[in-house]
Amino acid sequence: MSAGNRKILEVLNGRTVSPPPIWLMRQAGRYLPEYRETRAKAGSFLDLCYTPELAVEVTLQPIRRYGFDAAILFSDILVIPDALKRNVRFTEGHGPQMDPIDVDDIEALEAGDFIGYLAPVMETVARLRKELPAETTLLGFCGAPWTVATYMIAGHGTPDQAPARLFAYRHPKAFEKLLDMLADISASYLVAQIDAGADAVQIFDSWAGVLGEEEFERFCIRPVARMIRSVRTQRPAAKIIAFAKGAGLLLKDYRRKTAADAIGLDWTVPLSFAAELQKEGAVQGNLDPMRVVAGGSALEDGIDAILQALGNGPLIFNLGHGITPQADPENVAALVNRVRGRR
């Protein structure tokens, strides 16, 4: 089977595939016992990301179990600040942490040989492309500049990204410089993943939803548009999914101005609006991850509503955000079967 038969690439080329192809954000993760087993063998979470043998194994686990149409490289969006020497660490129960960046640090920030530093990630991508079934699309990814910057500024996750919003108002020049730098190195990082064998890439802007209209334009649309232009200048055939969680009505602008091949939708996007967005190109989403935890009719009704509203256009079936550790693996099997029409 040639790459031309990979269903997700079909959809990214604007075609309708029926039933729609499916993968899940965070499909490799703690809800799977085999993930927890491999995770226990790695030292830290970053060791797992930087050990190709283990990263390949956890990427393949959900493909073996469910036969998803895409595998997503196992890594994290915070490998970029890690490569920028921000001392990133993941401690049990605390989420990610790193040294918070200030104005002077931004002036001094140098990309250095970040691609060399991230060579294990590219090796994971290359090994995956060799090991995956021919019909499975391999997705690379990175964080969008705004979302990565929120962690770099606070030094950890926060409920509303107040530290980054405040920093952006107080130090607009330094903040813009940080976003531009992240856009440029993230574009190079995506190009390196494509060269290593990724068929398409997704840009995660998980914190887009905390911004006002003007800030969304400056901090999300502008840098992501810059990244996509840069990737396409270097690799004209690149296929790109952009996921701006919580962007709501602003998704129309987001699609037009970034020119992404598909836009990811979270579960708060009304299906009638999603159908309107779909008239302008492919969409991905948008089942509430809690429906997968609930199972039963909550799961079935959620799936059916999406298929009914979006199944007759270019759709990549997905969740509206990552699957959570509480999800029952049996419910994921039921989800895949129902989307594929094996009720």
Ligand X SMILES: Cc1c2[nH]c(c1CCC(=O)O)Cc1[nH]c(c(CCC(=O)O)c1C)Cc1[nH]c(c(CCC(=O)O)c1C)Cc1[nH]c(c(C)c1CCC(=O)O)C2
**Residues annotated catalytic, as ranges:** 26, 30, 39, 76, 151
Q: Which stretch binds ligand X (CB under 6 A): 21-29, 262-270, 273-281, 328-336?
A: 21-29
With respect to ligand X, which residue has the nearer C-beta, 208 or 283?
Answer: 208
Q: Residue 209 phi/psi, 5° resolution?
A: -75, 0
- What are the residue ranges of helices labelled H in 68-109? 79-83, 103-108
Interatomic CA distance for residues 191 and 242, integer angstroms: 15
Contacts with ligand X in 87-106 (CB under 6 A)? 90, 95-96
CB 66, min distance to ligand X, A:
12
Contacts with ligand X in 176-235 (CB under 6 A)? 204, 206
Name beta bridge partners: 156: 97
Neighbours of 70 (CB within 10 A): 26
CB 148, min distance to ligand X, A:
9
CB 270, min distance to ligand X, A:
21
**Which x/- pattern over 55-84 shows residues binding ligand X (rule: CB under 6 A)?**
-----------------x-x-xxx------
Q: Which stretch binds ligand X (CB under 6 A): 27-35, 97-105, 186-194, 333-341?
A: 27-35
Member of 29, 81, 281, 302 binding ligand X (CB under 6 A):
29
With respect to ligand X, which residue has the nearer C-beta, 246 or 313?
Answer: 246
CB 343, min distance to ligand X, A:
26
Q: Residue 322 phi/psi, 5° resolution?
A: -65, 150
Q: Residue of minimal CB distance from ligand X?
A: 206
Interatomic CA distance for residues 336 and 176, integer angstroms: 42
With respect to ligand X, which residue has the nearer C-beta, 88 or 191?
Answer: 88
State whether residue 100 is helix, strand or coil.
coil
CB 308, min distance to ligand X, A:
26
Member of 25, 56, 153, 336 binding ligand X (CB under 6 A):
25
Contacts with ligand X in 115-174 (CB under 6 A)? 141, 157
Beta-strand pair 200-205/137-143: parallel
Q: Which stretch binds ligand X (CB under 6 A): 19-27, 210-218, 224-232, 274-282?
A: 19-27
Member of 16, 19, 34, 39 binding ligand X (CB under 6 A):
39
Count the site residues for ligand X by CB under 6 A.
Answer: 21
Q: Are 193 and 203 in contact (CB under 8 A)?
A: no
Please tell me the number of Cα atoms within 13 Å of 197 on its side-chain side: 19
Where b means 16+ CB within 10 Å and e means fewer, 160-182 reads ebebbbebbeebeebbbebbebb
CB 29, min distance to ligand X, A:
4
The first and second tokens of residue 228, run together, are 């996509």
322 binds ligand X (CB under 6 A): yes
Cis peptide before 96 (omega within 30 of 0): no
Contacts with ligand X in 236-295 (CB under 6 A)? none
Give DSSP secondary structure letters for 221-263: IHHHHHHHHHHHHH-TT--EEEEETT-GGGHHHHHHHH--SEE
CB 204, min distance to ligand X, A:
4
Neighbours of 155 (CB within 10 A): 18
Binding site for ligand X (CB under 6 A): 25-30, 39, 45, 72, 74, 76-78, 90, 95-96, 141, 157, 204, 206, 322
